Structure 1
Amino acid sequence: MLACVLTGGNKVEFSPEGKAFARIHGKTMLEYVTEALAGVSAIQKIVVIKDHERLIDSVHEALQQGPEQDQYVLIVTCDVPFLTTEAVEDFLARCQSDADLYYPIVDKRDYERRFPGIRRTYVKLKEGTFTGGNLFLVKPGKLLPILGRVEKILELRKSPLALSAELGVSFVVRLLLTKLAGLLTISKLETRIAEMFELDARAVISPYPEVAHDIDRPDDLEWATKMLSG
Structure 2
Amino acid sequence: MTSSQHLQAVVLTGSRNVHNPLLAGTGLQSKVLLPVGGKPMVLSVLEAIAAARFSSKIWVSTQDEGVAALRATFPFDLLPNDTGAVRSLLKALYSLPPEGDWVLFVSGDHPLLTPQMLEYFVQQGLRRDAALAVAVVERGVVRAAYPQSQRTYFHSKDGAFSGGNLFLINRRKFQPNVAFMETIDRNRKKPWKNAWMLNPVSLLQILLRQLTMAEVAVKASGLLGCATDVISMPFAECCMDVDKPSDQVLAERILLERGGPAVDLTAARQPA
Which band: TM-score by shorter chain?
0.7 to 0.9
**Alignment partner of 1:37 is 2:43:** no
**Alignment partner of 1:81 is 2:93:** no
Structure 1 residue 46 displacement after superposition = 0.9
**Residue 58 of structure 2, aligned match among 43, 46, 49:** 46
In structure 2, the residue matched to 1:91 is 121
- Percent identical across equivalent pairs? 29
In structure 1, the residue matched to 2:17 is 11
Is 2:53–2:115's contact at 8 Å kept on the other side of the alignment? no
How far, CA to CA, are the matches of 2:112 and 2:105 in structure 1? 16
Higher share of residues assigned helix? 1
Alignment RMSD: 2.5
**What whole-Å deviation, never above 9, does each CA across 1:171-213 have from its counterpart, x for those lacking one?**
22222111xxxx2113321221232233111111111122211
Distance change in 2, residues 1:139/1:49 (3 Å): same
**What whole-Å deviation, never above 9, does each CA across 1:133-158 have from its counterpart, x for those lacking one?**
10110123544552233214444676
Structure 1 residue 73 displacement after superposition = 0.3
Q: TM-score, normalised by structure 1?
A: 0.86
How far, CA to CA, are the matches of 2:206 and 2:58 in structure 1? 37
Structure 1 residue 70 displacement after superposition = 6.6
Distance change in 2, residues 1:162/1:43 (3 Å): closer
Distance change in 2, residues 1:61/1:173 (3 Å): same
How far, CA to CA, are the matches of 1:134 and 1:112 in structure 2? 18
Task: After TM superposition, list the pairs within 5 Å mapping 1:192-211 onto structure 2.
Answer: 192-211=219-238
SS at match of 1:41: coil
**What whole-Å deviation, never above 9, does each CA across 1:110-168 have from its counterpart, x for those lacking one?**
1122222111122232223322210110123544552233214444676978963x322
Q: Which runs of 5+ in 2 are unaligned?
A: 1-6, 64-81, 257-261, 263-272
Is 1:71–1:139's contact at 8 Å kept on the other side of the alignment? yes
**What whole-Å deviation, never above 9, does each CA across 1:15-53 have from its counterpart, x for those lacking one?**
323101000243000001110010112232110101334
Is 1:153–1:163's contact at 8 Å kept on the other side of the alignment? no
In structure 1, the residue matched to 2:269 is none
How far, CA to CA, are the matches of 1:127 and 1:161 in structure 2? 20
The range that moved more, 47-56 or 1-10, is: 47-56
Task: After TM superposition, list the pairs within 5 Å mapping 1:106-145 onto structure 2.
Answer: 106-143=137-174, 145=176
Distance change in 2, residues 1:150/1:191 (3 Å): same
Q: TM-score, normalised by structure 2?
A: 0.74
In structure 1, the residue matched to 2:40 is 28
Q: Which runs of 5+ in 1 are unaligned?
A: none
Number of residue pairs matched by the alignment: 225
**What whole-Å deviation, never above 9, does each CA across 1:56-104 have from its counterpart, x for those lacking one?**
2211122124333870100010111100001110111212122101111
